[in-house]
Amino acid sequence: MRELTQVELLQELEPVAESNLNRHLSQARDWHPHDYVPWDDGRNFAAMGGEDWGPEQSQLSDVAKAAMVLNVLTEDNLPSYHREISEYFDADGAWRTWVGRWTAEENRHAIVMRDYLVVTRGVDPVALENDRMANMTKGVYTDDSSGLLPGLAYVTIQELGTRISHRNTGKACDDPVADRMLQRIAADENLHMIFYRNLCSAAFDLAPDQAMEALDDVIERFQMPGIGMPNFRKMSLTMAKYGIYDLRQHLDDVLWPVLRKLEIFERTDFTGRGEQARDSLAAWLAKSDEDATRFEEQRDRLVARDAKRREKAAS
C-alpha cells in the first residue's frame, strides 16, 4: 500500500474537515467571558490607590491554585499552538477556517480564566503575569504534532484530557462561579475533541497503517501541553496527587474512550506495519495500567500519612 503524502492527506480529508466544521458551528454555543466573572468582587490594586495582592486574599486551595494557573498558562500559549497546527493544516478552505475558529475559542478560555483569577484575587497576579511572559516567550514546540496524522492524534487526546482537567479543577475550586465557568470551557473542549476525533477516524479509513503508526507514536510519547512552562512539574504532580488529572484518568477517561471509538482493536484493515504498531500500543497500555495502579497505591498511602499528620497537629 502506497504511503500518502501530507498534501494528499490534506486534500483527501478536506471534505471531512468541511462537514465537521459545519457540524461544530451548528453545535457550538456563543458565550461571552464577561458573563462568567464576578465583577462585584473586584477592587483596585495599589497602582490605582487600592491594595496589592496577598496570599490571605485567595479563597482557593493550593490544589485549585496550581490547577488554575496551569490551565490558564496552557490556554495563553495559543499563538504557539496556532503556529504548530497551521504547519500541517496549511491549506485554504475548511482547514484554514477551522484553525482560526479553534484558536479564537481557545483564546476565550484564557481571557475568562485570567479575569476570574484577577478579580477574585485567586492567585498572585504579578506572578501569573511573569509566568505568562516566560511561557509565551519560550513558546511550545512539540515533536508529537509533527505531521498531519500525528497532529490529529495528539489534539484528539489533548482536547479530551483538557476537558477532564477543567471539569475537575472546577470542583476543586469549591466555588460555584468557577465551577460554572470551567464547565462552560469543558463543553467547548469536548466539541473540539469530537472534531479532531472524527478526522482521526476518517484518516484511519483512508490510510490505516499510517494512522495506526502515528497514533501509537503519539500515545507512547504523549505529554500534555505546558511541559516547558514555569513550575510545570510541581503543578502537574499536585494535580495528580489530588485527582485533578493523573495517569489512571489519562488511561481510563481519555485513551480508552478514544481507542474504543476508533475501534483500534477491532480493525481488520491493517497490514504488517499497522499490526506491529497496534501490538506495541497494546503492550504500552498494559504496562501503563500497572504503573497507574502502583501510583494510586503510593498516593493513597501518602494522603493517609498527610491526614494523620494534620490530625496530630490539630490535637
- The answer, yes or no, to whether residue 85 has pLDDT greater than 80, is no
Range of weakest confidence among 146-150, 191-195, 264-268: 146-150
Residue type, 127: A
Looking at residue 91, its pLDDT comes to 57
> Can you tell me the distance from the alpha carbon of 209 to that of 202, in angstroms, rounded to the nearest whole number?
13
- Secondary structure of residue 45 in the 3-state scheme: coil
Count of beta carbons in the 10 Å neighbourhood of residue 13: 24
Q: Please state, in angstroms and rounded to a whole number, the distance separating the CA atoms of residues 278 and 119.
A: 48
Model pLDDT, residue 198: 98
- Does residue 79 carry a pLDDT above 70? no
Nearest by Cα to 181 from 31, 302, 61: 31
Summarize pLDDT for 6-43 with one digit per residue, the tens. 889 988 999 999 999 999 999 999 999 999 999 999 99
Closest CA to 71 of 167, 174, 191, 144: 167
- Confidence (pLDDT) at 20: 97
Long-range CB pairs of 254-261, under 8 A, 24+ apart, other chains included: 254/157, 254/160, 254/161, 254/164, 255/157, 255/219, 255/285, 257/160, 258/156, 258/157, 258/160, 258/197, 258/200, 261/197, 261/201
What was the pLDDT predicted at 144?
47
pLDDT tops 60 at residue 260: yes
Q: What's the pLDDT at 34? A: 98
Mean pLDDT confidence for 97-125: 94
3-state SS, residue 263 = coil
Answer yes or no: is 1 within a domain: no
Domain count, the chain: 1
Residue 18, domain extent: 6-314
Binding residues: 75, 106, 109, 159, 189, 192
Residue 91 in contact with residue 10, Cβ under 8 Å?
yes
CATH code (residue 272) = 1.10.620.20
In whole angstroms, what is the distance from residue 272 CA to residue 216 CA?
Answer: 14
What distance in Å separates the CA atoms of residue 120 and residue 118, rounded to the nearest whole number?
Answer: 6
Greater confidence, 91 or 124? Answer: 124
Name the grid cell of 116: 476570574
Residue 31 φ/ψ, nearest 5 degrees = -150, 165
d(CA 180, CA 169): 11
For residue 41, the 8-state DSSP code is G
Residues in the annotated binding site for Fe cation: 75, 106, 109, 159, 189, 192
Give the model's pLDDT for residue 99: 87
* Contact predicate 77/135, CB 8 Å: yes
**Positive or negative: CA dihedral 8, 147, 71, 69:** negative
User: Looking at residue 315, what is its pLDDT?
Assistant: 73
The pLDDT assigned to 229 comes to 74
DSSP H or E segment with residue 85: helix 78-88
- Whether the model clears a pTM of 0.75, i.e. scores above it, the answer is yes
**64 lies in some domain:** yes
> What is the enclosing helix (H) or strand (E) of 173?
helix 148-173
**Between 310 and 126, where is the model more confident?**
126
Predicted confidence band of residue 226 (pLDDT cuts 50, 70, 90): low
Closest alpha carbon to 9 in 143, 138, 150 = 150
Q: How far is CA 87 from CA 3, 112, 148, in A?
A: 20, 28, 9
CA angle centred on 263, ends 261 and 265, rounded to 5°: 135
Report pLDDT for 300: 84
- Residue-level pLDDT at 141: 56
Establish if 166 belongs to a structural domain: yes
User: Which CA distances in Å does 163 have to 24, 89, 99, 193, 259?
Assistant: 16, 23, 19, 9, 17
Percent of the chain whose pLDDT exceeds 90: 68
Q: In whole angstroms, how far apart are CA 48 and each of 44, 51, 52, 133?
A: 6, 9, 10, 23
Whether 281 shows a pLDDT value over 60: the answer reads yes
- Distance between CA atoms of residues 289 and 281, nearest Å: 12
Give 211's pLDDT tier (boundaries 50, 70, 90): very high
pLDDT of residue 209: 97
The verdict on residue 304 lying in a domain is yes
Q: Which position has the higher pLDDT, 92 or 64?
A: 64
The top-scoring range by mean pLDDT among 78-87, 221-230, 255-264, 298-307 is 255-264
